[in-house]
A = this chain, B = another copy of it.
Amino acid sequence: MRLKKYTDFALRVLILTGSKEEGELASIKEISETFFISTEHIRKVVHQLSKLELIHTVRGRNGGIILAKGPSEINIGQVVRWMENDFSILECFNKDTNQCVITPSCKLKHVISKALAAFFQILDDYTLEDVLENKDELKELMSMT
């Protein structure tokens, strides 16, 4: 069971960007170097987070990335839902490609749906602010690379 790599990367972009002091910008290069993730991947994730209005990108020589809203307004469950986007946890969850003949009467689909709802119910209880509660510790770890 996995989340997409891009979901993982997106959460890290938000953590690093959210750990900055007010007005301080993060950069793609910095995020890439901190987490050993290619700038290409980070660029794509930043683009997507920007489209989701979670971050603003500031252009120019002193440009960079900044959160578009307060950490308490960025819900972890919502970020994961947006980034995952495809919830074909089993074949039958994708109507377009599903070939499973028992789908109309299958109780398993409901069990898995219920479990998925429980998963998100937990994530929905947390915001980026909760994840950044120990910001200073995180900043120290991020400054080591």
Contacts and interface: CB of A to CB of B under 8 A. Distances in A.
A30 interface: no
Interface residues of A, number: 50
A111 B123 contact: yes
A26 interface: no
Interface of A: 1-5, 8, 11-12, 15, 34-36, 76, 84, 87-91, 99-102, 104-108, 111-112, 114-116, 118-123, 126, 130-131, 133-134, 137-138, 141-142, 144-145
Contact of A107 (B88, B102, B134): B134
Contacts of A126: 111
A108 B142 contact: no
Nearest to A5: B91
Contacts of A11: 90, 108
A63 B116 CA distance: 38
Nearest to A11: B108
A130 B110 CA distance: 11
Contacts of A142: 101-102
Contact of A1 (B1, B15, B101, B114): B1
B134 A101 contact: no
Nearest to A14: B108
